[in-house]
Structure 1
Amino acid sequence: MKVDTKSKKLNKAWLNEHIHDPYVRQAQKDGYRSRAAYKLKEIDETFHLIRPGQVVVDLGATPGAWSQYVRRRLAPKGVSGGGAAVGELNGSIIALDLLDFEPIEGVQFIQGDFREDSVLEQLVSLLEGRKVDVVVSDMAPNLSGIDVSDAARIAHLVELAIEFCQSHLRTDGALVCKVFHGSGYSQLVDTFRQAFRVVKPVKPKASRDRSSETFLVGIGLKPSKA
């Protein structure tokens, strides 16, 4: 059997980097399921988006680090200053993903494809008529490596998140959405600007330098043209 030495070297390099990654180590220390928590943490600390009492929707939630962060932000402030991973919760969190999701206390989870109407209906049902304060989306399609095709898949998910916000987000609410630099990026920024009064691109420190991922933050819905 022929051994792919190049792949072995790449896997070894990735594992070595992962083990020594300061965000991986901090996530283990803080009890987060992945280093991704610090991406949302930096965005939140920059824009002050998530506060106790809110309704927050987490799209593409698995493995759950973003929901964990939101859950701690919604913990009532007390003697401990808030930030509890369990116990009382001041607000609501609804998480959604194609993949299974290990339960987080206080987080309602829907397993399904956000692109399907039946799954969207489940999400709307859990809202029980409430408006959403913040939508966070770490959704990403399976990438094929074909730029035009991948850009279309990414754009579709972003457009669905914006459409959901236009129907269910408070007028002063916010959307945080993962996108990728490359083909179609400028069009996604334009799409955000058509929907939100304030649009800011953010590359958190926890995003690896070589990664093309970045995040668009949209705050305050523009009036519908319909």
Structure 2
Amino acid sequence: MTDERKRTGRGSRLSGRTIATRVRTAKGRKTSSTRWLQRQLNDPYVAEAKKQGFRSRAAFKLMEMDDRYGFLKKGGRVVDLGAAPGGWSQVAVERIGPAGHVVALDINAMDPLAGAHVLQADFLDPAAPGLIVEALGGPADVVLSDMAAPTTGHPPTDHLRIMALLEAALDFAGSVLIPGGTFIAKVFQGGSERELLARMKRDFATVRHSKPPASRKESPELYVVAQGFRGTVP
């Protein structure tokens, strides 16, 4: 058993092989929907998430990044933005333990999760940061953002929306993180814009792009992992 499995009680690796399932195109179902369903049924991370009781396969992305960078510490305070359905929050709750605190926020409804304070709100609503800070009860050790704006099919527009979410999450992280804290956010290949990346490099000791193994190869998503926040205590 690896150190990570001992620490969490669960592993970030897959436990076995799956047999490929072929999905027939049903009447009234679009071809794209059939492809999505077939991908889900044949995705080993989907099967493993179900087996281990995680709410989504995304849980493995966070586990893999934490196994590598070690930012989820026992007793830590964690903010999870774009949390629904709750896979990342589940991992955070397990890894920080009962002495820690997780605040999970999403614009969509999310089922209650033991060990986490769940909020339903639009993060871009001016009132949302205050709700998070009130629920957190102190500065954050880690701010996670798996937020993604709905795509329009127009790449320049979609990029601007993604960057707006990233900038808002970074602004929030700068207001709540402890010195030495960590900020992790979803971006897409092509990376974050130079101004935002330069800002992160100024405000954090290390800034890396990461594509965890659980992120589908065909997906353009990446995560920016910024550690060693240089700010002052909020």
Q: TM-score range by the shorter chain?
A: 0.7 to 0.9
Partner in structure 2 of residue 122 of structure 1: 131
Matched, 1:134 2:142: yes
Partner in structure 2 of residue 102 of structure 1: 111
Cα distance, 1:193–1:170 mapped onto 2, change above 3 Å: same
Q: CA deviation at 1:10?
A: 2.7
Deviates more, 1:158-167 or 1:46-55: 158-167
Decide which of 54, 63, 79 is 1:41's aligned counterpart.
63
Cα distance, 1:55–1:184 mapped onto 2, change above 3 Å: closer
Q: CA deviation at 1:183?
A: 7.6
Matched, 1:53 2:80: no
User: Do the aligned partners of 1:189 and 1:216 also contact (CA within 8 Å) in 2?
Assistant: no
Distance in 2 between residues matched to 1:154 and 1:201, nearest whole Å: 16
Distance in 2 between residues matched to 1:168 and 1:183, nearest whole Å: 24
Distance in 1 between residues matched to 2:228 and 2:34, nearest whole Å: 45
Distance in 1 between residues matched to 2:62 and 2:37, nearest whole Å: 24
Q: Supply the AA of the counterpart residue of 2:168.
A: L
Cα distance, 1:182–1:145 mapped onto 2, change above 3 Å: farther
**Partner-residue secondary structure (3-state), 1:218:** strand
Q: Supply the AA of the counterpart residue of 1:126.
A: A
User: Do the aligned partners of 1:198 and 1:218 also contact (CA within 8 Å) in 2?
Assistant: yes
Q: CA deviation at 1:152?
A: 1.5
Cα distance, 1:169–1:19 mapped onto 2, change above 3 Å: same
Root-mean-square deviation (CA), in Å? 2.2
Distance in 2 between residues matched to 1:10 and 1:146, nearest whole Å: 19
Partner in structure 2 of residue 84 of structure 1: none
The C-alpha deviation readout for 1:73-116, integer Å capped at 9, x for no partner, is 123xxxxxxxxxxxxx1210000000001011121011111111
Distance in 2 between residues matched to 1:110 and 1:94, nearest whole Å: 7
Deviates more, 1:183-192 or 1:118-127: 183-192
Distance in 2 between residues matched to 1:197 and 1:183, nearest whole Å: 19
Partner in structure 2 of residue 64 of structure 1: 86
Decide which of 136, 143, 149 is 2:157's aligned counterpart.
149
Distance in 1 between residues matched to 2:160 and 2:85, nearest whole Å: 25
Q: CA deviation at 1:127?
A: 2.5
User: Do the aligned partners of 1:175 and 1:219 also contact (CA within 8 Å) in 2?
Assistant: yes
The C-alpha deviation readout for 1:13-53, integer Å capped at 9, x for no partner, is 22122111110110011000110000000000000010110
Partner in structure 1 of residue 45 of structure 2: 23
The C-alpha deviation readout for 1:167-198, integer Å capped at 9, x for no partner, is 11011000110011138555543342233220
Q: TM-score, normalised by structure 1?
A: 0.85
Q: CA deviation at 1:150?
A: 1.5
User: Do the aligned partners of 2:86 and 2:110 also contact (CA within 8 Å) in 1?
Assistant: yes
**Partner-residue secondary structure (3-state), 2:169:** helix
Matched, 1:162 2:170: yes
Decide which of 215, 221, 225 is 2:223's aligned counterpart.
215
Distance in 2 between residues matched to 1:106 and 1:125, nearest whole Å: 16
Distance in 2 between residues matched to 1:116 and 1:146, nearest whole Å: 24
Unaligned 5+ residue runs, structure 2?
1-25
Cα distance, 1:223–1:108 mapped onto 2, change above 3 Å: closer
